[in-house]
């Protein structure tokens, strides 16, 4: 236990949390993953404390189905490993135990200390960002290390109560995202929390408490310190979580979007006639619809759409400097992608697919001889065609072309021949975008 003097120095930790008994909340074991229950019970039977924590408690309290079930305990990672045969210890920044059940994992975290900046095990950067964090504590201080109050609730397997140190229960009821502790300090420690605030607010339909929201406008530039690989993970959660349109609008509102996609932000801020915004909104709507329908979505399509306008603009500039269209496109793709991956580390398989989707756009205009048949069997044809449809929907002058490909794909052999000869008569126009 921390001594009382330290407790007052740090965040005024209340000694007694609010305990909501089983009769006072809606969490039922019937809604908890069996494997999570197994982990909780085994820890508890071995004499350790064991709680469900984080997103699963929050989602269960909201009557939503949790995505994953995280466990918090006073057992040390090594002690957890001794209890489970199927357990691996992972992580550097946070050391965690992963208990494996086939392809599923229950994550077990040992309680962390409340304010251990000067202790061994916690490493901060000069500006207060956490680099490594392996100071163990107890539930009293673990709660204060969580990002938002609604993420800092604990479900106790011993008596099925919910333990609330930070007012999370009230914020769940009020539908608001609020940072635990001092907002400025917590955002400085880990600027990704600003992205998480937006993500949770959109996903849960919550508002961001003014005290949490206001500092974001000023602190957004701190995102530049986050390693590009971590940002990629966050981007996937932000844009492939089913609410990409709203997330995009919110990220822009708080000035966070420009930190992630600076080249896109430039185009958006200089936009004429609403083109890039309209195009992106369409692309994100498509993504959300596909996710709602349970269809697969690839990050590559999203990247292609996000960076399309910066790439086109740069290609236009290169053409004005006498490069051939193909060279201009190629150079623009390379430049835009390499600038973007210096901010967000997108794996090569995705950037490669983005290049292919883009490179296929002009090729889709060549509707002569055997070319359309060859394009049809190109491994990226489907993605490139979807991208073409998106461009048409967003007001680019490719509607006729997109409709042609729609018909060509489903047409019988004879009709395909007719389509090709009809298309050969129309000279492919210059690919100029109409800005509407
Ligand atoms: P999701 O439904 O997206 O999984 P989640 O709340 O479970 O939401 P996770 O990223 O899985 O989010 O993290 C689990 C818990 O760990 C969070 O609820 C929060 O308590 C804590 N946590 C995660 N990331 C941070 C962070 N950057 N700073 C402080 N606490 C964090
Ligand atoms: Mg989670």
Q: Which domains can be identified in the chain, with CATH numbers? A: 1-171 (3.30.460.10), 275-425 (1.10.3090.10)
The region that residue 304 occupies, defined by phi over 0 for left and psi between -120 and 50 for alpha, beta otherwise, is: alpha
Q: Is 3 a catalytic residue?
A: no
Residue 306 CA to ligand 2 centre (angstroms): 27
Q: Which atom of ligand 1 is nearest to the CA of 58?
A: 6
Please identify which of the residues 59, 115, 142, 147 carries the catalytic annotation.
147
pLDDT score for 1: 41
DSSP state of 243: -
Cα 404 to Cα 399: distance, rounded to the nearest angstrom: 8
**What is residue 205's three-state secondary structure?**
coil
Token pair belonging to 408: 């060509």
The ligand placed nearest to the CA atom of residue 199 is 1
pLDDT score for 436: 44
Q: Which atom of ligand 1 is nearest to the CA of 189?
A: 28
| b (16+ CB within 10 A) / e for 151-190 | bbbbbbbeeebbbbbbbbbebbeeebbbbbbebeebbbbb
Q: Is 288 a catalytic residue?
A: no
Q: Identify which of 382, 192, 226, 407 has the alpha carbon closest to the alpha carbon of residue 304.
A: 382
Residue nearest (by alpha carbon) to ligand 1 atom 6 = 55
Q: Identify which of 228, 248, 370, 374 has the alpha carbon closest to the alpha carbon of residue 306.
A: 248
What's the half-sphere exposure (Cβ side, CA atoms, 13 Å) at 55?
A: 15
Instruction: Give the CA distances from residue 380 to residues 62, 341, 384, in Å, rounded to whole numbers and listed in that order.
Output: 41, 22, 6
- Give the distance from CA 282 to its chain's centroid: 19
pLDDT score for 5: 44
Query: Which one of 33, 60, 62, 70 would you pick to mutate in the ligand 1 pocket, going by the greatest count of ligand atoms within 8 A of its CB?
Result: 70
Q: Is 54 in the pocket of ligand 1 (CB under 6 A)?
A: yes
Q: Is 67 in the pocket of ligand 1 (CB under 6 A)?
A: yes
Cα 391 to Cα 372: distance, rounded to the nearest angstrom: 19
Q: Is 193 in the pocket of ligand 1 (CB under 6 A)?
A: yes
DSSP state of 112: B
The pLDDT tens digits along the chain (436 residues) read 444 444 444 545 556 899 999 999 999 999 999 999 999 999 999 999 999 999 999 999 999 999 999 999 999 999 999 999 999 999 876 789 999 999 999 999 999 875 544 444 555 666 666 665 667 888 988 999 999 999 999 999 999 999 999 999 999 999 999 999 999 999 999 999 999 999 999 999 999 999 999 999 999 999 999 999 999 999 999 999 999 999 999 999 999 999 999 999 999 998 777 778 889 999 999 999 999 999 989 999 999 999 999 999 999 999 899 889 999 999 999 999 999 999 999 999 999 999 999 999 999 999 988 899 999 999 999 999 999 999 999 889 999 999 999 999 999 988 999 999 888 776 554 444 554 4
Specify the pTM. Answer: 0.89
Instruction: Give the CA distances from residue 218 to residues 190, 191, 254, 304, 361, in Å, rounded to whole numbers and listed in that order.
Output: 15, 12, 9, 30, 40
| Residue 431, phi then psi, degrees to nearest 5 | -75, 85
pLDDT score for 426: 66
pLDDT score for 7: 46
**What is the C-alpha end-to-end distance of the chain, expressed in Å?**
64
**What is residue 86's three-state secondary structure?**
coil
Q: Is 192 in the pocket of ligand 1 (CB under 6 A)?
A: yes
Q: Is 68 a catalytic residue?
A: yes
């Amino acid at each position: 236990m921390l001594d009382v003097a330290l407790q007052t120095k740090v965040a005024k930790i209340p000694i007694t949390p609010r305990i909501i008994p089983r009769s006072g909340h809606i969490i039922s074991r019937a809604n908890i993953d069996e494997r999570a229950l197994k982990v909780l019970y085994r820890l508890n039977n071995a004499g350790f404390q064991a709680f469900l924590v984080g997103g699963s408690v929050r989602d269960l309290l909201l009557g939503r189905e949790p995505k994953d079930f995280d466990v918090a305990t006073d057992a040390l990672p090594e002690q957890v490993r001794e209890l489970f045969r199927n357990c691996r210890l992972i992580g550097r920044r946070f050391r965690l135990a992963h208990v494996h059940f086939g392809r599923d994992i229950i994550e077990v975290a040992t309680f962390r200390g409340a304010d251990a900046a000067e202790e061994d095990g916690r490493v901060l950067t000069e500006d207060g960002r956490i680099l490594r964090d392996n100071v163990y504590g107890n539930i009293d201080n673990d709660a204060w290390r969580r990002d938002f109050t609604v993420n800092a609730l604990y479900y106790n397997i011993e008596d099925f109560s919910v333990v609330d140190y930070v007012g999370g229960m009230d914020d769940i009821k009020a539908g608001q995202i609020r940072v635990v502790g001092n907002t400025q300090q917590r955002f400085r420690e880990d600027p990704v929390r600003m992205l998480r605030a937006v993500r949770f607010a959109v996903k849960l339909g919550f508002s961001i408490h003014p005290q949490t929201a206001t500092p974001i406008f000023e602190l957004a530039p701190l995102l530049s310190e986050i390693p590009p690989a971590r940002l990629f993970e966050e981007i996937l959660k932000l844009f492939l979580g089913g609410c990409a349109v709203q997330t995009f609008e919110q990220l822009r509102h708080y000035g966070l979007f420009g930190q992630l996609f600076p080249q896109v932000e430039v185009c958006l801020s200089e936009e004429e006639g609403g083109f890039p915004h309209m195009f992106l909104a369409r692309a994100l709507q498509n993504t959300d619809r596909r996710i709602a329908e349970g269809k697969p979505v690839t990050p590559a399509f999203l990247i292609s759409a996000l960076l399309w306008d910066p790439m086109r603009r740069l290609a236009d500039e290169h053409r004005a400097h006498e490069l051939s269209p193909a060279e201009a496109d190629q150079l623009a793709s390379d430049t835009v992608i390499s600038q973007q991956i210096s901010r967000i580390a997108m794996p090569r398989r995705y950037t490669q697919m983005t290049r292919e989707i883009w490179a296929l756009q002009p090729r889709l205009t060549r509707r002569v001889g055997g070319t359309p048949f060859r394009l049809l069997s190109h491994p990226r044809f489907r993605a490139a065609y979807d991208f073409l449809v998106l461009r048409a929907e967003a007001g680019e002058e490719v509607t006729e072309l997109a409709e042609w490909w729609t018909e060509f794909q489903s047409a019988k052999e004879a009709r395909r021949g007719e389509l090709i000869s009809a298309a050969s008569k129309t000279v492919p126009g210059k690919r100029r975008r109409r800005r509407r």
